Structure 1
Amino acid sequence: MASCMASSLFQKHLLLLIALPIVISSSPALRCHDSIISFGDSLADTGNLLHISRSEGRPTHAGFLPYGETYFRRPTGRFSDGRLVIDFVAEWLGLPYVAPYYGDDGGRSAADFGKGVNFAVAGATALDAGFFEGRGMGNSVPNESLGVQLGLFKELLPSLCDTSSEFQSSDKEEYDPSTGCLNWLNEFSQYHNEQLQRKLNHLRELHPQANIIYIDYYNAALRFYESPDKFGFDGGILRACCGGGGTYNYNSSALCNSNARVCDDPSAYASWDGIHFTEAAYRWIFKSMADGSCTVPKLDISCPSLAFE
């Protein structure tokens, strides 16, 4: 899919998954990171289980001394006598200790996650609780799996990352003059698609009896942006038909709804709401799929009576 459409990427935030190697390429002087986002279990939990257990009336032993006695001089919910690896990472980056998602620590509000947030919960598993319940082990596993933590992260993401700007740049050299799209973002999409095709080739080798077809939305749609007039998109190729106003009629906080600004003729636009295509655009993409020009390998679904409108 063409990357000049609205996207949401998370920049300048360090994500830590305590279970995988941690590679950091910054120093306090460089300040390469603005915040830390952490996932995991008791190795990284800075207080989540403590707050969960208190709210449920079943205090955890990490909420009592001698836990925390070495550094904090009080129990903080950390399963240690003091700081964890994530605390030393925060100190090294010159950032505050990462606030637990379910409560405050040292007076910080649970809603104040501008410098980071920790979703790690002691006892959390990679697989969801349902997996263990089906095997008779559900009572011993908290429902705070990695999937749950990632779900909470996705809910919180809009407040952590302002996407209202479509990554606009004041440097005209960063844009492709033929499409008006940011070069680096489209290059990222191209790289993703290359890696996807490599994986599909591997799957074809593993399953030679399967017919795996790669449909290249990116290049099928890129034609619109290079030559919009050829496809009847004269409403402004980068503008959304339905949206919240602005240069591209797109605003992540004012999406397409009954109160949005809607164009008179959607068929003159490739973008419907700044993220998705219009029917007219999807029709052209389908034609590219049907004639095999954007599929790998070529897809032949033609028959004598098939005609395109």
Structure 2
Amino acid sequence: MSSRVFINILVIFTVVLPCLVSLSHSKCDFKAIFNFGDSNSDTGGFFAAFPAESGPFGMTYFNKPTGRASDGRLIIDFLAQALGFPFLSPYLQSIGSDYRHGANFATLASTALLPHNCLFAGGISPFSLAIQLNQMKQFATKVKEADKIGSKLPSPDIFGKSLYTFYIGQNDFTSNLSAIDIGGVEEFLPQVVSQIAGTIKELYDLGGRAFMVLNLAPIGCYPSLLVQRPHNSSDLDEFGCMVSYDNAVVDYNNMLKETLTQTRKSLSDASVIYVDSYSVLLELFQHPTSHGLQYGTKSCCGYGGGAYNFDKRVYCGNTIKINGTTISATACNDPYNYVSWDGIHATEAANKLTTLAILNGSYSDPPFPFHEHCDLQPIG
């Protein structure tokens, strides 16, 4: 069975099933989600700390910027909806947060490893995975110390009934490419994997028993990298993605998978799940029209048109002057036709398709079909 046909089948399966089970009372093995990551799963943490976001982010679903690096919902949003939870409140958001069903520690530009420079010098968030873990520990301590369960806090026993999700590592990879290239980046990727595995073990000590780690996406298909890096036809595959970059990501993903296998063996009463989101996104980039999309390696929000519609001088939503001429990076009118939102992040449409594949469980190791653990809700 081809990958295109298989994904179409699982989409039908995961759309129809929630509609059937939602007719009954919703039940789920998980009572909360605690998420760790970067911009791919940040629901507003970074911009709670550094308020600055503007449109057209959020244009599809929220009709305003919400701190998400997309036109709408992220994978973590769709996952929360499928499990019957509200969207996760960022840990760093002091106003309006509700933590009864978990918290989101992810922030834009975060790395798994501790950054070597500050945000304003290198563009990397200070909230690395180790910091996010410390925030989680503080959160758990405060919840357990509370005399009474507040209206916006979970029960103290929530930590053993939660799903812990990870979507991080992309910035460890991409932030160093221009300086040390692929070979240099690959030298410290084992440290990234080790940091993730170590974090899982510490969360296990807090009571966590279910962990889900998404691997790295095929960055060789990202418009932002395709347009910036000089390349020749020998480094591009038939779909226009950079072979060298994607091969390096595959090496990292294999390393991550093997490390999580070893972690699973050492935590015999825990579920440690590796999610191959790479394969799902690669399929979308390579065959967008097979999944109701039109454009793979072209940004919806950008400047310059052409094959990639991306110009590194002006990022999505920004306006600058070049030689007296004002240029703006604006959004397309049909983001639902694109895989790439801004050259770096996925559109809501791509995020939804990826979530449907995750819910099916076929892209997980070991297989983890969510419908066996929860009455899944529609994620329209």
Under a length normalisation based on structure 2, what TM-score does the superposition of the two structures give? 0.38
Under a length normalisation based on structure 1, what TM-score does the superposition of the two structures give? 0.46
Q: Relative CO higher for 1 or 2, CA cutoff 8 Å, sep ≥ 6? A: 2
